Structure 1
Amino acid sequence: MADSDLPAMVSTQPGEEGPDSPRPRWRCCLPAAVTVEPVIFLSMFALALQGPLTTQYLWDRISADIGYNGTRERGGGCSNHSGSHDPLQQEVEKLTSHWSLYINLGGFLVGLFSVMLLGPWSDSVGRRPVLILPAIGLALQAAIYLIVMYQKLHVGYFLLGRIICGITGDFNMVLAGCFSYISDVSDRQSRTFRVAILEACLGIAGMVASIIGGHWRKAQGYINPFWLVFAVNLVTAIYIYFCVTESVKDRKPTKLFTSRHYQSVFRLFTVPGENKRRGKLCLYSLALLLVVTVHMGAKDLFVIYELSSPLCWDSDLIGYGSAAEHLTYLSSLAGLRLFQFCLADSWVAEIGFISNISGLIVISVAATTPLMFTGYGLRFFAMVTTPVIRSKLSKLVDEGEQGTLFSSVACVEGFSSLLSTGVFNSLYPVTLSFMKGFPFLFGATLLLIPAGIIGLIEVCEQRPMYSQFSEIS
C-alpha cells in the first residue's frame, strides 16, 4: 500500500474534509483511534434496552388479555409449588414465546435479503451509507413500538416495526458494517483483538442498558425507556454522518438493486481458492451458525425462564441477570487478551466452548437465584469464540471482499436468529411438562459440534508443520 493512500484510509481525522471523504465542516472531538466502536455501542445499548422490555411488555399485555394476575410477588417472593402447574401461567408463557417467534421471524426473513444487497454494495460505495440506513430503521421500529404502547394496540403490530427495520438491514447490518470497517483498517495480527473490542462494546452496552431497563421499567413503565431507544438510534445515525471516516479506498458508484450482489455472495462460497479456502469458509460459517443459534436461543428464553416459577424474578433481578449475561463480552475480551499470550486463537475458542457449555448445563437445572447466577458466572469466557471465528473468516478473503463476506456472515447470523427463535421458542413450551431447562441443555450439547469443527481445522493446519519436521529428522 502506498503511503499516499494512508491519509484517505486511516489518518484522516473524524470530521475532516478530504478528497475521498466529503464531510461537513464540523470536527468530531473523539480520538482518531475511535472509529465505529461508538456505533456498535449505541446500537447495542438501544437493542439491549428494548429486547427484555419488549418481552416483558408481551408478557404483561398477554396476561391482561387472558385475565392472568400471576403468581409472582413483586416484592421478591415466589410460589414454588403451585406456579409451575398453573394452566394460565403456562398459557401466558406459550403465547409470549409464540409471539416472540412471529415478531422476530418477520424481521429476520426480510433482513436476510436486505443484508445480502447492502453488504456487497458497501464494497463499492463505502461503509458509511450501510451504517446510517439500519440506524434509521431501528429508530423507526422504536417509533412504531411507541405508537403501539400509547394506543394500546394489539401486540401483532410490533411485527410491522420489525419488518420496516428488516428492510433497512436491521441490527445485523450494523454488525456487518462495523466488522467490515474494522477489517478494512486493521492488519492480520491485530484483527482478532480489534474484533473482540467491538464485541466487548456489545457487552458493555448491553450490561448498562439491562441494569437501567430493569429499574426504569419498574419505576416508570415501558414508554419512557422506549423514547430513549428512539433517541439513541437517531444519535447513532448523526454520529455516523459526522464522525465516521470512510474506510473503503477506491469507491465507485454501483447500483444497489442488482443480482450481482447476490451472485458475489454465492461465488464467495463456491469458487475454489488457495489453501482450501472454500471448505474453511463453509466450516467456519457452520460453526458460527451453531454458536449464534445457541447464544440467541438461550438469550431469548432467559427472561421467560426467570419470570416464571420457580425463580419468579422481578424486573430488578431480570436487569441484573441480563447485565451478567452481557458482562460475558467484557470478561471474554480480557480472557482473549490473556490467553493469546500462550495459545493459538483456535484453542482460546475451545476454552470459550468449555465455559459456555458448563454454564448452560448449570442454568438448565437452576431452581434458585444463586444457582442461576452461578450459571451466568461459568459463562464468563463464552464469547471468546465469535471474535476468533470472525477473524479467521476475514483472513480468508481479499480486502475488496470484506463487505461481501460480512454480509454473508450477517445472513448466517440472521438465519441463526431465525433458527434459534424457531427451535428454542418452540422447544420451550413443549418441554415445560418434564424439564423446564431442557432447551439450555440442548444448546450445551449442540455446542459440541462447532467445538469439534474448530479443533479439527486447527489440528489439520498444524499437521504439515509436524510432517516437515519429521522429514528433516
Structure 2
Amino acid sequence: MDEPDTAAILPEDLLSSSSTDDPPAEAPGATCSAPPPPRTCRVPVSVEPVLFLSMFSLALQAPLSTQYLWDRISEDLGYNGSKRAECSNGSVEPDPLQKEVETLTAHWNLYINVGGFSVGLLVVPLLGSWSDVGGRRPVLILPNFGLALQAVVYLVVMYLKLPVVYFLVGRLLSGLSGDFNAILAGCFSYVADVSDNKSRTFRVAVLEACLGVSGMLASIIGGQWRRAQGYINPFWLVLATNLASALYAYLFVRESVHPDPSARLFTSRHHKAVWQLYSTGGVSAEAGSPLHRSKLWLYTLCFFLVVTVHFGSRELYVLYELSSPLCWESALIGWGSAAQNLAYLSSLLGLKVMQRCLQDSWIALVGLASNMTGLVVFSVANTTQLMFTGYGLCFLFMASTPVLRSKLSKLVDPSEQGALFASVACVESLCYLVGSSIFNSLYPASLHFMKGFPFLFAAFILFIPAGIIGALQCLDQRREHRDSSLS
C-alpha cells in the first residue's frame, strides 16, 4: 500500500498529535472555546522551498568564493598558472608559486569558516531549542537575513577590492544570525512536526534531495556565469535568493507549533534542554535504559563523522580541480559540482527503491560504501575522466544521512523534536568547524607526498560509522529474534 502524502497534511491539522502542550480532549459534545490559529495562505505549503532557495544561494556562493580567493591571492603573488600550457602535463613539476597559492587559499578558507561556524556553534542550538516554544517560522526567516547580509559584505569587498580578511566579517555576521545550519534545524524540525514515524525517513530524504537539486542548478549556473561576467553579478543573485527565501517563509509557511509569545530567547534553558536530552535519554518509554542513551550517542557520533567527511572533503574539490594536473576552468568546476550535487537526487531515488527490500540501517551502509569508493578514486584522480568517475561512484553517498536523522528522531518523544534537531544542528556546525580545520590543514601538508591523501583519509574515517551502524542493527535483530522466540 502506498504511503500517505504527508506533504499535503497541514501543520495545523497535526498540532493535536505533535505537541505535548495541547490541552486534554474535551468531553463529547463540548465545543472548542479557542478559535483556530489564523491561516496566512489557503494553499497547503511546506518548508521545502525555503531549504531549496537557501541551499541555492549557498551552493552558488561557496565555489565562487574559493575561486575569488584563488584569483585575488594569485594576483597578489603574480601567479598565472592557469594559462601555462604545461599545467595539464603531469610530468612537469608545478610552479612553486602554485603551492603557495594553494596553501594560502586553503588557509583563508579555514580562517573564514572557523570564524563563522564557531559563532554559529553557540547560536544554532539556542535558536533551534527556542523554536519549540517560540515557533519555527522565525528560525527560517532570521538566518536568511544573516546570509543576505553576508552577501552584501562580499559584494562590497569585490566592488572596492578590499582585503580578503573582510570575508571573515561577513561570515561572522551570518554566524550571529544562525547561518545555514539554523535553517536546516528549522526545516527538519518542521518536517518532524508534520510527519509520522513511517514516512519520516523519506520526508527527510526529500529535504536532503532539495539540497542536492538546488546545489546542482547553482553549480551549473555559477560556473558558466562566472566565466561570462565575473563574480559580482552571481553574488547579486545570492543576495536576491536569500531575501526571497525569507519572504516565502514569512508569507506562506504556517506555524507547526503553538508559539508562546512570552518565551524568552536569551536564556540558558535552551542549551540545558539539549544537554538533558542526551544525559537522560529523553522522556520516551525506554529512555532510562543505558542502551537507549547509548544509541543516541552512537548515532550522533556516526552523523558527526559522516557529515564531517562530507563538508571537509567538499571544500577541497575546487582546490584539487583548479591546480595541476587537472587545471579545470570555471565551467568545468561547475559541472563537477553539479555531478556531486546530482547524487542527492540519485540517493533519494535509491533510498525509495531500497526501502522495499532493505531496512534503513542496511541502506545507510550501502550509502557509506558508495561514498568510500568515490573518495578512493578521487585520491588518485589525475585526469578529468577519472575525476568524473569518482563523482559517478558517489551516486548513493547521501543515502546515509537521512537514515541517521530519522533514527535519531524516532528515538525521542514528539515533544523533544526541537531539542533534538537543535543538537543535530549544533553537531552540523561542529562538523563544519572540524571538517574545515582538518581538511584545509591536511591538504597543504600532504602536497609533497600525495596530493589526494585527504580523500583517502576521509574514506578510512567512514569505516567507523559503518561498523557502528552494522553492529547496532545486528544487536536489534538479535533482540527481536530473542523476544519473538520467548513469546
Match of 1:179 in 2: 188
- CA drift of 1:22 comes to 4.4
DSSP-derived class of the 1:253 partner: coil
Q: Find out whether 1:245 has 2:254 as its counterpart.
A: yes
Match of 1:391 in 2: 406
Q: Deviations over 1:204-257 (max 9, x none)?
A: 000000000000000000000000000000000100000101011464531100
Report if aligned partners of 2:312, 2:439 keep a CA contact under 8 Å in 1: yes
- CA drift of 1:73 comes to 5.5
Gapped regions of structure 1 (runs ≥ 5):
1-5, 13-17
Match of 2:229 in 1: 220
Q: How many residues align?
A: 455
Gapped regions of structure 2 (runs ≥ 5):
1-8, 16-33, 282-286
Query: So what's the TM-score if we normalise by structure 1?
Result: 0.93
Q: Find out whether 1:9 has 2:12 as its counterpart.
A: yes
Match of 2:462 in 1: 447
Report if aligned partners of 1:203, 1:330 keep a CA contact under 8 Å in 2: yes
Q: Find out whether 1:261 has 2:263 as its counterpart.
A: no
Match of 2:49 in 1: 38
Report if aligned partners of 2:133, 2:258 keep a CA contact under 8 Å in 1: no
DSSP-derived class of the 2:399 partner: helix
Report if aligned partners of 1:71, 1:78 keep a CA contact under 8 Å in 2: no
Q: Deviations over 1:52-93 (max 9, x none)?
A: 00000000000001111114469x9724333x5311000000
Identity %: 61
Range moving further from structure 2, 275-284 or 297-306: 275-284
Equivalent of 2:91 in 51, 60, 81: 81
Opposite residue 230 of structure 1, the aligned amino acid is L
Report if aligned partners of 1:72, 1:312 keep a CA contact under 8 Å in 2: no
Report if aligned partners of 1:138, 1:171 keep a CA contact under 8 Å in 2: yes
- CA drift of 1:464 comes to 1.4
- How many Å separate the matches in 1 of 2:199 and 2:458? 31
Q: Find out whether 1:54 has 2:57 as its counterpart.
A: no
RMSD: 1.9
- How many Å separate the matches in 1 of 2:38 and 2:72? 48
Match of 1:206 in 2: 215
Distance 1:454 1:72, change over 3 A: farther
Query: So what's the TM-score if we normalise by structure 2?
Result: 0.90
- How many Å separate the matches in 2 of 1:468 and 1:406? 32
DSSP-derived class of the 1:244 partner: coil
- CA drift of 1:19 comes to 5.2
Match of 2:162 in 1: 153
- How many Å separate the matches in 2 of 1:400 and 1:470? 34
Q: Find out whether 1:94 has 2:97 as its counterpart.
A: no
Q: Find out whether 1:279 has 2:289 as its counterpart.
A: no
- How many Å separate the matches in 2 of 1:158 and 1:51? 12
- CA drift of 1:278 comes to 1.6
Equivalent of 1:438 in 453, 463, 477: 453
Q: How does 1:120-135 map to 2 (within 5 A)?
A: 120-135=129-144
Distance 1:303 1:72, change over 3 A: farther
DSSP-derived class of the 2:81 partner: coil
Q: Deviations over 1:109-164 (max 9, x none)?
A: 00011112101100001100111000100000001000000010000100000000
- How many Å separate the matches in 1 of 2:120 and 2:320? 28
Range moving further from structure 2, 391-400 or 192-201: 391-400
- How many Å separate the matches in 1 of 2:213 and 2:323? 27
Q: Find out whether 1:69 has 2:69 as its counterpart.
A: no
- How many Å separate the matches in 1 of 2:36 and 2:100? 57
- CA drift of 1:11 comes to 7.8
